[in-house]
Amino acid sequence: MDLGLFVLLIALAAILAGLVGSLTGLGGALIVIPVLVIAFGVDFPTAAGAGLMTILATSSTTGAAYLRDRLTDLRIGMFLEIATVPGALVGAAATVFLTHANLEDALLIALGCVLFAIVPVSLAHRTEELPTGVVPDARSERLGLWGTYHDTALDQDVDYQAARTTPALGVMFGAGLVSGMFGIGGGVFKVVALEHFLRMPMKVATATSNFMIGVTGAAGAGILLAAGFVNPLVAAPAAMGTALGAFLGSQLLPGLRNRTVRLLFLPVIAGLGVEVVLRGLGIA
């Protein structure tokens, strides 16, 4: 295929992925990476490198918007990055090692399994608008992991405080590992940790997760870029397209970003997972 057309098609696919990723809250990289592998014949490490660059672009787009809306908890986000960043470093290093050991197929199968895992996690995830019965732990007290935001829908100021920080840090390490290893944002896992362990309100959890994804992505992207796995002819159109798609998604149809839209696209994620696993097994 002509290179110009190749770049253009990746950009168009990425715009669509960014739009869907924004509407579902799952992130564009989750769709871009399997599409690059399946439709464009990109090898997995290069697709993962492009995915991480995509995350950097979209997190700067959405992260800035959430910061402006004062929903992001800067203190809690930066505290949790102490766990996501080492996770991402380990994950990205593992991808480099496994690629050099000619175990790319194993990585593809593992990616397919992660795509599968996202489906039940998303289905089982019951969001609680405002958590009750929160018992803050000692670390939360010591570091002042609490805050207030104005909920426009409820038209009231909402106070919250983090609980169970130790298991949350463990889940965040795992989310970082998945992000660095597969090039996805891992936002689904981060939001679960923020809501279920730290007991943060839903809106603050989503905004804080978006805020953190950029730094987690940078940890993995740094390793894959330095190792030569970020090809700008793939990563640049993917990052630009996804950022544009995410921007359009946030501007044009904000009312659609809800659980129903996510449920509509979960079969797509599962289908991509099946295809990726089949590729890893050498069947597709």
**Interaction residues for another protein, span 228-247 (CB under 8 A):** 228-237, 239-240, 243
Residue 3 to residue 236: CA distance in whole angstroms: 13
Site for another protein in 199-228 (CB under 8 A): 199, 214-215, 217-228
57 contributes a contact to another protein by CB under 8 A: yes
Nearest to 127 by CA among 191, 208, 210: 191
Q: Which one of 15-23, 24-32, 77-85, 267-275 is the stretch in contact with another protein (CB under 8 A)? A: 77-85
Tokens of 40: 């464009």
Nearer to another protein by Cβ, of 222 and 268: the residue is: 222
Which of 4, 155, 166, 260 is in the footprint of another protein by CB under 8 A? 4
- In the complex, the smallest distance separating the C-beta of residue 81 from another protein, rounded to whole angstroms, is 5
CB-nearer residue toward another protein: 243 or 269: 243
The Cα–Cα gap between 65 and 249 comes to 13
The residue written with tokens 């492009």 in the block is: 50
The DSSP letter of residue 83 is H
Q: Which of 44, 79, 182, 197 binds another protein (CB under 8 A)?
A: 79
**Shorter beta-carbon distance to another protein: residue 5 or 124:** 5
* Residue span binding another protein (CB under 8 A) among the ranges 13-21, 111-119, 136-144, 189-197: 136-144
Please name the residue that has the structure tokens 């990055």.
Answer: 81
Angle at the Cα of 16 from the Cα atoms of 32 and 26, rounded to 5 degrees: 60
| Of 214, 278, 265, the residue nearest 17 (C-alpha) | 265
Residues 137 to 196: which contact another protein by CB under 8 A?
Answer: 142-144, 146-148, 158-161
Sign of CA dihedral 42, 46, 52, 58: negative
* Exposure of 25 in the CB half-sphere (CA atoms within 13 A): 27
Binding mask 87-126 for another protein (x = CB under 8 A): -xx--xx--xx--x--------------------------
Q: At what angle do helices 104-124 and 44-68 cross, to 10 degrees?
A: 30
Q: Tell me, residue by residue from 5 to 34, as one string, x for binding to another protein by CB under 8 A and - for no binding.
A: -xx---------------------------
130 counts as binding another protein under rule CB under 8 A: yes
**Residue the block writes with tokens 């290069």:** 46
Size of the site for another protein (CB under 8 A): 83
Which member of 104, 109, 119, 136 binds another protein (CB under 8 A)?
136
- Give ∠ CA 60-27-228 in degrees, rounded to 5: 70
Sign of CA dihedral 269, 273, 279, 280: positive
Tokens, residue 255: 């009312």
DSSP 255: G
Which part of the chain contacts another protein (CB under 8 A), choosing from 23-31, 68-76, 112-120, 276-284?
68-76
Task: Enumerate the β-bridge partners of residue 146.
Answer: 161
Question: In this chain, which stretch among 12-20, 83-91, 252-260, 271-279 interacts with another protein, using CB under 8 A?
Answer: 83-91
Interaction between residue 265 and another protein (CB under 8 A): no
